[in-house]
Amino acid sequence: DTGVSQDPRHKITKRGQNVTFRCDPISEHNRLYWYRQTLGQGPEFLTYFQNEAQLEKSRLLSDRFSAERPKGSFSTLEIQRTEQGDSAMYLCASSYDRMNTEAFFGQGTRLTVV
Amino acid sequence: DQQVKQNSPSLSVQEGRISILNCDYTNSMFDYFLWYKKYPAEGPTFLISISSIKDKNEDGRFTVFLNKSAKHLSLHIVPSQPGDSAVYFCAASETNFGNEKLTFGTGTRLTIIP
């Protein structure tokens, strides 16, 4: 399967714990995005990578959130000191580095903070 | 401020008939528009897109229409099939030599009645 892969699919954590999610994009894709989706809403942009460089972060991404893309391949999203409001579906997407091109999404990581 | 709006949370259509999903946007800088389909517990799947230089794009049973003056686009599915039952998201982006982050609407749940 050469699609976008995310791990884990589900994560339940206690409030205050740290969690880390992984995304493996389609191998030829230079662009990588993280989005967050809550119930009844569409996905909301969190951050964007061009190769290994993180070029934009949404104001939704508080200081407790950090993302990396070492070597421009897979990416990780870490949430420190999780709060109940962090419960959501975290989606990763990747695309070719060209204009007007569609992004392909992974299946997402469902985070539940209890 | 919701820059992409899908005002119909749900829509039911008889199998074989036409499904029309609507989307409005407010940001005049958006010039690339996409429709994604989402099944429960999965990531969004790209369906069809349209650039602002066009007013129509067709791909099999799916046609997207763009009315720039009204800042409105619609997705037509004909004929509708039971497998089309899903949540449909409209998304928009600004052409960029790099970050083409997507702004999503809140989605329309389409149910095809056999």
Q: Are B36 and A105 inside 8 Å of each other by CB?
A: yes
Are B95 and A100 in contact, with CB atoms under 8 Å apart? Answer: yes
Rounded-to-integer distance, Cα A31 and Cα A29, Å: 6
Cβ–Cβ gap B101/A50 under 8 Å: no
Counting every residue, how long is chain A?
Answer: 114
Average pLDDT over residues B34-40: 95
**Mean pLDDT value of segment B80-96:** 95
- Compute the half-sphere exposure of residue B50: CA atoms within 13 Å on the CB side of its CA: 21
| Res A1: pLDDT | 54
Question: A60 versus B107: which is more confidently predicted?
Answer: B107
Cβ within 8 Å, pair A106-B43: yes
Q: Is the pLDDT of residue B2 over 90?
A: no
Maximal C-alpha separation, chain A: 41
**φ, ψ at A4 (rounded to 5°):** -75, 130
Is 80 exceeded by the pLDDT of residue B94?
yes
Mean pLDDT of A66-86: 96
Instruction: Give every CB contact of residue A49 below 8 A, 6+ residues apart in sequence.
Output: A31, A32, A33, A55, A67, A69, A72, A75
Token reading at B51: 């650039």
Q: Return the pLDDT at B95.
A: 83
Q: What is the mean pLDDT of chain B?
A: 95
Please compute Rg for chain A using Cα positions: 13
B42, A95: Cβ pair inside 8 Å?
A: no
Q: What is the pLDDT of residue A98?
A: 85
Nearest one of B108, B62, B60, B104 to B85, comparing CA atoms: B108
Neighbouring C-alpha atoms within 13 Å toward the C-beta of A9: 5
Dig out the tokens for B108 from the structure.
């329309």
Angstrom CA distances, A91 to A3, A24, A103, B62, B109, stand at 13, 11, 11, 25, 19
B25: contact with A, CB 8 A cutoff: no
Q: Does position B34 have pLDDT exceeding 90, yes or no?
A: yes
**B40 in reach of chain A (CB within 8 A):** no
